[in-house]
A and B are shown apart, each in its own frame.
Chain A
Amino acid sequence: MPERRTAVPVTFDGEDFEAYDDESVLQAARRNGIAIPALCYLEGLSVWGGCRVCVVEVAEDHRLRPACATPVKADMEIKVHTPRLDSYRKSILELLFAEGNHVCAVCVSNGRCELQDTAVEVGMDHVRYDQQAPARKVDASHAKYVFDHNRCILCTRCVRVCDEIEGAHVWDIAERGAGSEIIAEMDVPWGDAKSCTWCGKCVAACPTGSLFYHGKAVGEMEHSADIIRVLASARGKGEWLSPEVSL
C-alpha cells in the first residue's frame, strides 16, 4: 500500500487549492491546472533550479523562490502572476534568447519547441538585450543524433537524464559562467563517446532544437520530454515500458 499523502490548503494568486505536503509548488500547480512556465524542470529528473523561469512569490516574506525547488507548506500563499514576476520572466527569456543563437525560422524545432512556447507564454515579443552571437560548435559526429550547441540553454536535462535514468553519464558541464558548455565524456566528439548507449533519452528531454535526429529539417523535430516522466515512474513502480509508449 502506498503511504497516504496529506492534503494541505494553499492559494495560487488568491484562489484556494489543495496540495499534497510532499509536493513542490510547481508540482502542485501543474496538478491543479495552473501554468507556471519552467525550462530546466522535467518531471522524473532531479531538480536543478537553474532556469529561474518558474520563480513565484511566497506571501510570508515576498521573496522570490523557484517553484520547482520549493516544498509546499500548509496555508502557503503563492503568487504566480504579479507585474514584477511577469516582467522578470520575460527578461529571463530575453536573456536566454540573447545568449545563444536562437533563430526560430531556421530551427529544426520551430513550432515544437519549449523555449519558443515559453517565450510566447510569458509574452516575450522582442529582445532588448545585445545578441551575444557566440561562436559555438555543432557536433554531428554521432551517427544518429546531432548536438547544436548554439541552441543550448544549459538546462542540463540531457546531463541529468543520461546520468539518472540511463545511468551512462555521457554528458557533463565544462567551463563556467558564459563559457559553460555541455561536453560528452572528457570533451570528445559525441560520436567517439564510448559510454553513449544510443538510447536517445537526452534527445527526447531537450527543450530546444539543440539535440535532434540527423536528417530533420526545419520544424520537423519533435521532442518527447514526457517520456522521461513515464520511464521514471515505471522504474519507481518496478514496471518497464508501458506498451503504448515507444521511443
Chain B
Amino acid sequence: MLQHFWTEEEKLLIELVERIGKEYVEPYARQWDEEEVYDPRPLKALARADLMGLVIPKEYGGLGWGVKALCLAVEHLSKYCAGVATTYAATFLGAYPIILFGSPEQKARYLPEIAKGRLCAFALTEPQAGSDAAAIQTRAQKEGDYYILNGIKQWITNGGIADYYVIIALTDPKKGARGASAFVVERGDPGLAVGKKEKKMGLRASVTTELFFTNCRIPRERLLGREGLGFILAMKTLDYARVGAGAQAVGLAQGAMEVALRHARHRIQFGQPIYHFQAVSHTFAEMAMRIEAARALVYQCAQALDKAPKESAGPSAMAKAFATDVAMWVTERAVQMMGGYGYMRDFPAEKMMRDAKCLQIYEGTNEIQRNVIARELLKYYR
C-alpha cells in the first residue's frame, strides 16, 4: 500500500523474483512442506536468473548489489515459500564471511562458483552453544600447513546440500571467544560428515542437519581473516543475516495477509463477505499497519548496512525482532481469519504460521536480539 520508490533496477529485480515465485515456487510449496523435501529446481531458477550472485561483487561474476537488493529478493520469495527463501538466504549467510573477510585468492576461488549457483552454509551453533555462542567447543588445531577440525555443529541450514561451509572453531580455547577462528570447509573434505536431516515444525522445504568433524584436515589457506577473528566475523555476518530474516518475515506476513484477505472477501457468512464484519476488517487493518512498519524498518536498516555498515548491530537486531514478531502475529491472525480453512493443511495459511515460528528463533532468538538492542542503547546514549 505504501509507496517505496524503488529504482528501475530494483523494480526489475522484484518483477523477476515474483515471476520465479509464481512459476517455480508457489505451485509446489504445499507439496514440499507436506513431504518435507528439498527441491533444487527453484534454486536453479534463481541461479539462472543471476540471483545467486546478487551481492557477489561484479569482479567475481555477481551483480555487486547491496543488502537492500538482497532483502527485496528474500522478501518476495518468502511470499511464496519461506522455506525456499531460507535455503536462498542461508547461502548468503555462508557467502558474506567470504565477501567481507576473504582474501583475494579465497574470493576468486569461491565467489564465482556461488554466483553460478553453488550453495553455502554457515555453522556456528553447537549442541551446548546456542544463544551462548561463546560456549562452542569445536577445535581447529594447526598442524604444519593444515588445520585439523574436530567437533559437532548443529541445526545447520543447507547441511549436506551446500558445497561450501563457513565453520567457527576454536584455535585457542584458552582465550574463549577471542580464540575462535573461521574456516571454509568444502563438501568432500576428508573428515566432514553430514548428520541426519532434522524434522521441523516449519520451513520444511529447507534442509537442516548436523555436521560432524572428525580429524577433518583442511589446508591453512582456508582460514578466513586471521586467527582469533572468528567471533567478530560471526557477529558481523549475523548483522547482515538478521536484516535478511526481517525481510523474510515481511514477505511471509505479506503473503499470509493476501491469502487471508482473498478468503475474507469471498467467504459469505450471515449473508455477506466476512470482511465486512468489523472484527475481521480491523484485524486486516492492523495486519497492514504492522507489515508496513516492519517493512519500513527492514529497508531503512538494509540501506544503513549498505551505507554505514559499522553501526549495524542494533538496527539489524531491531529489524529482525520486530519484523519476525509481526510475521508471527500476522500469520496467526491469518489462520484465525480463515477459521476452519485456516487450520486445514489443504490451505496455505497454517504452513505460513508454522514457518513464522522459526523466524523468531533462528539467527539469534528474539530475546537475544533484545539483549543486543539494550546493549547497543547504552553505547549510543553514553
Q: Do A and B come from one complex?
A: no
Q: Which residues of B contact A (CB under 8 A)?
A: none
Q: Which residues of A contact B (CB under 8 A)?
A: none
